[in-house]
């Protein structure tokens, strides 16, 4: 095995909490398959001694090695950034006790422009994620216009047309860049699909079907700095809107990040 640490891709994971979790993950996957260390060594071309050290977090391990070991078992490594809680805690404290309209003016999106754009979508959508939680009164930070749409051809064709009209750009993880020529959410490797435009960041989660059961009435939308404009259609700027929103129970089931932030919020509220 190549252990050349001069390769910048081989970021070493020290024997830490993450190394322990990786070791436990590899061992659990191996035992589920009823493989011995020798079986895994044969399949991965990593020595038995090294595998034993990795599983017990007794040695620094590279991402390349972890990927190689998991690939031998038909698995792939999924990495997710952990929130910096200090900033989120501050945002929760700042939002607590303030009326919704006041909080919306501080969101990192042009909410009025987004809802005005999506009023042009002939197919339904629902507010999702932390945005939906905030619309239901949770004092959580909102950094993206988060929605759920039905995963069917007609809906997605209309959505793509709208995204192109908005000059939205999709985030492509493998290139670590935003691109503007492919806005089809079905081509994305990650969910929800991330886009950005002049009004801020947009997250789209595809669901099998939409069955709205909860709505939030916004009677006074904040005035945005960048009104919705299009050369292809008229975009009336809304002053009020009735939005269907995902219930908190579903948000916490489907969105790991939202679940962690909401748990953090509840802990701070109870502590106060």
Q: What is the pLDDT of residue 271?
A: 64
User: Given the DSSP bridges, would you call strands 144-150 and 215-218 parallel, antiparallel or unpaired?
Assistant: unpaired
Rg from Cα positions in the chain: 23
Burial of 59 (0-12, 13-18, 19+ CB in 10 A): middle
CATH number of 12-72: 1.10.260.40
Q: What is the pLDDT of residue 60?
A: 80
Quote the CA–CA distance of 186 and 124 in Å, as a whole number: 18
Per domain, the residue ranges of the chain are 12-72, 85-271
Q: What is the pLDDT of residue 85?
A: 80
Q: Which residue has the tokens 């050290």?
A: 53
SS (H, E, C) the chain: CCCCCCCCCCCEECCCHHHHHHHHHHHHHHHHCCCCHHHHHHHHCCCHHHHHHHHCCCCCEEHHHHHHHHHHCCCCCCCCCCCCHHHHHHHHHHHCCCCHHHHHCCCCCCHHHHHHHHCCCCCCEEECHHHHHHHCCCCCCCCEEEEEEECCHHHHHHHHHHHHHCCCEEEECCCCEEECCCCCHHHCCCCCEEEEECCEEEEEEEECCCCCCCEEEECCCCCCCCCCCCCCCCCCCCCCEEEEECCHHHHHHHCHHHHHHHHHHHHHHHHC
> How far is C-alpha 5 from the geometric centre of its chain's CA atoms?
31
Q: Are 50 and 1 in contact (CB under 8 A)?
A: yes
Q: What is the pTM of this model?
A: 0.71
Q: What is the pLDDT of residue 10?
A: 41
Predicted confidence pLDDT, tens digits, the chain (272 residues): 333 344 443 444 444 677 888 899 999 999 999 999 999 999 999 999 999 999 998 888 888 899 999 999 999 887 766 667 888 888 888 888 899 989 999 899 999 999 999 999 998 899 999 999 999 999 999 999 999 999 999 999 999 999 999 999 999 877 778 887 779 998 887 889 999 999 999 999 999 999 899 999 999 899 878 999 998 899 999 999 999 999 999 999 999 999 999 998 988 766 65
Q: Are 148 and 125 in contact (CB under 8 A)?
A: yes
């Amino acid at each position: 095995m190549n252990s050349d640490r001069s390769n910048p891709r081989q970021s070493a994971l020290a024997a830490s909490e993450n190394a322990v979790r990786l070791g436990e993950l590899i061992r659990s996957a191996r035992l589920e398959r009823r493989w011995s260390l020798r079986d895994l060594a044969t399949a991965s071309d990593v020595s038995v001694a090294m595998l034993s050290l990795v599983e017990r977090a007794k040695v620094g391990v590279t991402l390349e090695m972890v990927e190689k070991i998991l690939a031998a078992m038909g698995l792939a490594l999924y990495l997710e950034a952990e929130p910096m809680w200090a900033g989120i805690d501050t945002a929760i404290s700042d939002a607590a006790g303030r009326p919704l309209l006041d909080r919306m003016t501080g969101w990192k999106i042009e909410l009025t422009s987004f809802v005005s754009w999506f009023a042009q979508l002939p197919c339904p959508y629902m507010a999702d994620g932390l945005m939906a939680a905030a619309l239901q009164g949770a004092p959580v930070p909102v950094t993206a216009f988060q929605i759920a749409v039905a995963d069917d051809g007609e809906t997605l064709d209309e959505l793509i047309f709208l995204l192109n009209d908005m000059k939205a750009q999709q985030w492509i993880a493998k290139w670590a860049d935003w691109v503007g020529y492919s806005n089809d959410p079905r081509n994305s490797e990650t969910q929800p699909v991330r886009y950005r435009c002049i009004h801020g960041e947009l997250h789209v989660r595809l669901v099998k079907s939409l069955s709205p059961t909860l709505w939030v009435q916004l009677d006074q939308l904040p005035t945005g700095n960048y009104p919705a404009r299009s050369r292809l259609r008229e975009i009336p700027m809304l002053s009020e809107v009735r939005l269907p929103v995902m219930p908190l129970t579903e948000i916490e089931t489907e969105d790991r990040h939202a679940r962690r932030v909401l748990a953090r919020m509840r802990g701070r509220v109870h502590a106060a």
